[in-house]
Amino acid sequence: MKFILGLGKFLTVVFWWVVLVNLLIPQPLPLNLLINAAGISLLGLHVLEVLCFNASLRGRSHRWFDRLQILLTGIFHVMSIPKPEEASRRA
């Protein structure tokens, strides 16, 4: 499961890199609009994820870093956060 989450995070970061490159060096017209639309949609989805999972981040030591990672990688970071009972068992 850890491999799948890491791969998902990596591919999401690659997607954000493609969106950023598209903003700096626009692609041909139909592809340009599709990349921008996908980037806006994914950003909106990640903002909703931050709002939905905000309460579960309250006990974490680096809440703002977690929120930033959720904005960047979305559900892949949320799934990699250990549950409170798992964290207390490991300690």
Domain boundaries in the chain?
2-90
Look at the block and give the residue holding tokens 């998902």. Answer: 8
pLDDT digits (tens, 9 = 90+) for 47-77: 999 999 988 888 888 889 999 999 999 999 9
The residue to which tokens 């999401």 are assigned: 12
Distances (CA, A) of 19 to 32, 37, 57, 67, 79: 9, 10, 28, 20, 24
pTM of the model: 0.82
Q: Would you state the structure tokens that stand for residue 7, as one six-digit string? A: 């791969």
86: pLDDT strictly greater than 60: no
